[in-house]
Amino acid sequence: MSATPSNPLLPFLEQQKAMILDGGLATTLEERGFDLDDDLWSARVLLEDPEAISEVHGDFLAAGADVIITATYQATISGLARRGLDFNQAREQLELAVRLAVTARDNFWSAPAKHVNRLRPLVAASVGPYGAYLADGSEYAGSYGLAAAELLEFHRDRWNILAAGPADLLACETLPCLEEAAVLLELLQDTPDRWAWFSFSCRNGSELSDGSPFARVVELCSGFPRVAAIGINCTAPENISPLLEIARPRTDVPLMVYPNAGETYNPDSKTWSNEPGTPLIGDLAAAWNRLGAVAIGGCCRTGPTAIAALRAGLLR
């Protein structure tokens, strides 16, 4: 019997003050002129211009990201089927998304001058929530009206495809409810050679997007093997510190945060608005690190420039 692999985040956590995650792939694509007003969101670009995704991955690596996350957040079997792809074609798109990230990482690593004193970056295969497939902002509410068995069936095929691929780990992200986390934890236990992180969208400093206590989901995830990290993403920066204060005494699992840039998303108009004086994540990262966050990056509206500033400020 082969030995259980170790947490792929540990080498970074042993050698660095913190590991740096990438930023918002989709919103970076939007800033570069791509129209993502589509049910597939960034997966639309995966279908139409995969090279653009490769370029964004490369830019985040050059900016200092220790982890890049694949363009599979909104690429689901059901969503791609709705676009007219059969199962095999949908699987090929998921595999392509992982291959784009792995190739970008390998190309970056093949040029030593670009990564002096750095560890070889990781590729995390994104597993977005059911709400992302609905494309109506439900990942910020979590009220799906589905039984656990239905959620399991929705996630199973994509999970198995991504778990069978060359990504270093899976990234279960923007999860709005405990029930969805429980389903993905079950799938993780069915793939015993794999690690995954679990990151949640929260509506305030103590609750998930559906109103469940954040403390409960931290305790749930802590009870399962091969949970690489527990985190918060796609959440307003001002909520991160109180959430970390809840999490740290309840778990020994590494904590990660990758919040939005601070703007507010309107799911009806699919637009972002910003309040004057909103602090940048780079200005808040040191405080989050002191509160226990050992992996820090950005989500929506956080591009390579912000990640470069984050690395320079946090790891100086």
Question: Domain-by-domain residue ranges, the chain?
Answer: 10-314
The chain-wide mean pLDDT, for the chain, equals 92
Q: Give the Å distances, CA to CA, from 277 to 280, 286, 306.
A: 9, 19, 16
In CATH terms, 10-314 corresponds, of 3.50.50.60, 3.40.605.10, 3.40.30.10, 3.20.20.330, to: 3.20.20.330
The answer for residues whose C-beta is within 8 angstroms of residue 227's C-beta and 6 or more apart is 185, 188, 195, 196, 197, 198, 221, 253
| Residue 266 pLDDT class (50, 70, 90 cuts) | low
> What tokens does 186 get?
């079950």
Higher per-residue pLDDT: 301 or 171: 171
* Euclidean distance between CA atoms 139 and 137, whole angstroms: 5
Summarised one tens digit per residue, pLDDT across range 20-33 is 999 999 989 999 99
User: What is the Rg, in whole angstroms, of the alpha carbon atoms belonging to the chain?
Assistant: 18
Contact predicate 142/210, CB 8 Å: yes
Amino acid at 267: P
Residue 126 forms beta bridges with which residues?
171
Decide if pLDDT at 46 tops 90: yes
Closest CA to 248 of 299, 288, 211: 288
Transcribe 113-125 into DSSP letters. Answer: GGSTT-PPPEEEE
Quick: pLDDT tens for 220-263: 999 999 999 999 999 999 999 999 999 999 999 999 999 988 76
DSSP of 256-308: EEE---SPEEETTTTEEE--TTPPPHHHHHHHHHHTTEEEE---TT--HHHHH
Stated pTM of the model: 0.94
- Per-residue pLDDT of 217-228, as tens digits, reads 999 999 999 999
pLDDT of residue 264: 63
Q: Is 239 helix (H, G, I), strand (E, B) or coil?
A: helix
CA-angle at 173, arms to 171 and 179, nearest 5°: 115
Closest CA to 180 of 212, 136, 225: 212
Which pLDDT score is estimated for 269?
57
